[in-house]
């Protein structure tokens, strides 16, 4: 049995065409079913539905043989015990620094002021500001980062941006681009040895289906 860990929503939806290329069809729709283990048309392949931030934990500890996870989550979590054979080029967005449109970020950086930064991505933020030599106080949040500058909790946020609609709707502007984000295939290292043939076939099928 091969177990693939996916999160509901965009990663599930964007992985479906890759699975199809490998000849695999998921038999249930996670949006309508309450099941957490989904069968496929292949009796030897199943999909487990986990939170996006739990995918690396499942793969690392062998709860799943492989999974699909954002680069953001992977950097925050660490990659011990996993191979990352493919960038799947799905769930594409960017990690950015954003501030209120009336906050002079460049001046704050120039003055060397301590900047309060709210984010779910503390490791990415820590590395980014350390590289720039900017002093920051990091405030860990689990969601709705956009609210932090509007309520005075923080001066800036580090968050994912795709269309920019969320920032615009909250009178925030992007002031720094930290990195491009897409989702990767991650594979448990022990599973790759024990189930080499079926995993290799799946990795190869995914590789040939990746869109440029």
132 binds, among ligand ATP, ligand PRP, none (CB under 5 to 8 A by kind): none
Nearer to ligand PRP, 60 or 96 (CB): 96
Rounded least distance, CB 38 to ligand ATP, Å:
16
Nearer to ligand ATP, 71 or 195 (CB): 71
Nearer to ligand PRP, 133 or 143 (CB): 143
Contact assessment for residue 16 and residue 23, using Cβ atoms and an 8 Å cutoff: no
53 binds, among ligand PRP, ligand ATP, none (CB under 5 to 8 A by kind): ligand ATP
The Cα 54–Cα 127 span in angstroms is: 22
Rounded least distance, CB 208 to ligand ATP, Å:
23
Kindly list the residues in this chain that would bind ligand ATP in the complex (CB under 6 A).
Answer: 7, 9-11, 51-53, 70, 72-73, 91-93, 160, 162, 181, 183
Kindly list the residues in this chain that would bind ligand PRP in the complex (CB under 6 A).
Answer: 159-166
The Cα 18–Cα 15 span in angstroms is: 5
73 binds, among ligand PRP, ligand ATP, none (CB under 5 to 8 A by kind): ligand ATP
Nearer to ligand ATP, 18 or 91 (CB): 91
Nearer to ligand PRP, 97 or 202 (CB): 97
SS (H, E, C) the chain: CEEEEECCCHHHHHHHHHHHHCCCCECCCCCCCCCCEEEECCCCEEEEECCHHHHHHHHHCCCCCEEEEEHHHHHHHCCCCEEEEEECCCCCEEEEEEEECCCCHHHHHHHCCCEEEEECCHHHHHHHHHHHCCCEEEEECCCCCCHHHHHCCCCEEEEEECCCHHHHHCCEEEEEEEEEECEEEEEEHHHHHHCHHHHHHHHHHHHHHCCC
11 binds, among ligand ATP, ligand PRP, none (CB under 5 to 8 A by kind): ligand ATP
72 binds, among ligand PRP, ligand ATP, none (CB under 5 to 8 A by kind): ligand ATP
Rounded least distance, CB 119 to ligand ATP, Å:
12
């Amino acid at each position: 049995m091969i177990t693939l860990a996916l999160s509901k929503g965009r990663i599930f939806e964007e992985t479906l065409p890759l699975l199809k290329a490998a000849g695999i069809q998921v038999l249930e729709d996670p949006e309508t079913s309450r099941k957490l283990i989904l069968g496929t048309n292949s009796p030897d392949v199943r999909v487990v539905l986990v939170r996006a931030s739990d995918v690396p934990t499942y793969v690392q500890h062998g709860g799943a043989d492989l999974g699909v996870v954002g680069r953001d989550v992977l950097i925050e979590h660490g990659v011990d015990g996993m191979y990352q054979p493919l960038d799947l080029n799905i769930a594409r967005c960017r990690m950015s620094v954003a501030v209120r449109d009336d906050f002079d970020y460049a001046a704050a950086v120039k003055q060397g002021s301590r900047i309060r930064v709210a984010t779910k991505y503390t490791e990415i933020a820590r590395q980014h500001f350390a590289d720039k030599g900017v002093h920051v106080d990091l405030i860990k949040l689990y969601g709705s980062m956009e609210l932090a500058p509007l309520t005075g909790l923080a001066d800036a946020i580090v968050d994912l941006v795709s269309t920019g609609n969320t920032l615009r709707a909250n009178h925030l502007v992007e002031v720094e681009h930290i990195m491009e984000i897409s989702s990767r295939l991650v594979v448990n290292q022990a599973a790759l040895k024990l189930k080499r043939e079926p995993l290799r076939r799946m990795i190869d099928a995914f590789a040939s289906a990746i869109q440029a």
